[in-house]
Amino acid sequence: MSGKPKLYYFDGRGKMESIRWLLAAAGVEFEEEFLETREQYEKLLQGGSLLFQQVPMVEIDGMRMVQTRAILSYLAAKYNLYGKDLKERALIDMYVGGTDDLMGFILMFPFLSAEDKEKQCAFIVQKATSRYFPVYEKVLKDHGQDFLVGNNFSWADVHLLEAILMVEEKKSDVLSGFPQLQAFKARISSIPTIKKFLEPGSQRKPVPDDKYVETVRRVLRMYYDLKAN
C-alpha cells in the first residue's frame, strides 16, 4: 500500500463521494482506482478485500476499510474533524445521520426512470425544506456560531455543505428561506481546502450521467428498476 489513501469505487459520486469530500476537507491527497469491469470487481471479491462484498473500499494505514460510515468515522477522528469530546462527537453523529438520511433520497436518483425522477425531485426538495434544513437553520441561529458543533470545523459541516449543494442541483433557490444556511454555505465554501475541492479539475465528481449508471449496473449486475419514494 502506498502512503496516500487509495479509494476503490466507480468514476462517479455514489457512496464514495462523501469520503472524497472528507479527505479533501482535511487536505489529504488520495489515489483512486475506478471499477469499470465486472472482472475488476470479482478480483477484489476473490482477493478477500471486500469484507461484505461491497464497495466503497479504502486502503489506509495498512487497512482495507469497507462500510461507508466506518470509513468516514475513522477519517473524521484521524484528521481532527470529530469534535473535542464525546458530547461533541454525539452531536456530530446526529447531524451527520440526519444529513445522510437526506442524501439517501438523492443517492439512487440517477437510476430512476424519467417519470420517477420528476416525482423524486419534488420529494427531495420537500423533505429538505420541511424536515432537514430547518433543523440546521435553528442550530446555527440559536448558538450564533460559525460551525455546527463546538464552533470548530467538523465532519458535520463538510457533510451538510455536500448535501446543500446536492439539493441545489435539484432546485437552485432551495435555500431562499434559510438565511443562516446561506451564510453557512458561503462560509464553509471559502475554507481553503473546501474551496480547492470545489474548483474545476479537482477529484470531486460531477452529477451522475448515463455512462456512470450503465457502468454501475454492469459491474454490480443491477438489472432491476428502482422506484421513487
- pLDDT (0 to 100) of residue 1: 46
Domain residue extents for the chain: 6-79+199-220, 86-190
For domain 6-79+199-220, give the fold.
Glutaredoxin (3.40.30)
| Residue 149: DSSP 8-state | B
Provide the pLDDT confidence category of residue 222 given band limits of 50, 70 and 90: confident
CATH topology of domain 86-190: Glutathione S-transferase Yfyf (Class Pi); Chain A, domain 2 (1.20.1050)
Instruction: Provide the pLDDT for residue 3.
Output: 85
Distance of alpha carbon 41 from alpha carbon 35, whole angstroms: 7
**Tens-place pLDDT, residues 122-153:** 999 999 999 999 999 999 999 999 999 999 99
Task: Using alpha carbons, list the distances in angstroms from residue 181 to 44, 60, 82, 149, 165.
Answer: 41, 33, 21, 14, 11
Mean pLDDT for the stretch of residues 15-29: 98
- Residue 218 CA to chain centroid, in angstroms? 23
For 151-212, the DSSP string reads TB--HHHHHHHHHHHHHHTT-TTTTTT-HHHHHHHHHHHTSHHHHHHHSTTSS---S--HHH
Q: Confidence band (pLDDT; 50, 70, 90) for 227?
A: low
Note the pLDDT of residue 214: 95
Q: What pLDDT sits at residue 189?
A: 98
| Per-residue pLDDT tens digits for 84-128 | 999 999 999 999 999 999 999 999 999 999 899 999 999 999 999
Predicted local distance difference test score (pLDDT) of residue 194: 98
Would the pLDDT of 177 be above 80?
Answer: yes
Taking 80 as the threshold, does the pLDDT of residue 77 lie above it? Answer: yes
* 25-29, 84-88, 187-191, 219-223, range with the lowest pLDDT: 219-223
Q: Is the N-terminal amide bond of 179 cis, ω within 30° of 0? A: no
